[in-house]
Amino acid sequence: MVFILMSIIVFLLCVIVYLNVVFYQQKEIFRMRLQALRKIIAEIDKKHTDQQGQIRLSDELQQTLKESRAVLSNDIFDLNYELFDLLSKNNLLKK
């Protein structure tokens, strides 16, 4: 009986050692996977930041273009006004 129990204890000891080894292997694998994932996150985060910068530039341009459009519209309106004024003065407008 004692012999059987001792055999079981030895077996259980082996199981304990095995479980510990597996546990530390899993821990190492997980650490490496996390490292890889963090690297990916860092990369895509950088890309994200770059894209945000580009979008900001685009937005700024959009604003500039908006202002330019207003200026240009005024200029074209003034040009047309002058043109029509000139045509009117010379009676060149179609009736």
Residues that bind other proteins (CB under 8 A): 1-2, 5-6, 8-9, 12-13, 15-16, 19-20, 22-23, 26-27, 30, 33-34, 37-38, 40-41, 44-45, 47-58, 60-62, 64-65, 68, 71-72, 75-76, 78-79, 82-83, 86
CA atoms of 17 and 91, how far apart (whole Å): 107
Q: Provide the CB-side half-sphere exposure for 18 (13 A, CA).
A: 6
Longest dimension (CA), the chain: 128
CB 54 within 8 A of CB 45: no
- Indicate the residue among 53 and 88 with the shorter CB distance to other proteins: 53
Least distance (Å) from other proteins to the CB of residue 95?
Answer: 23
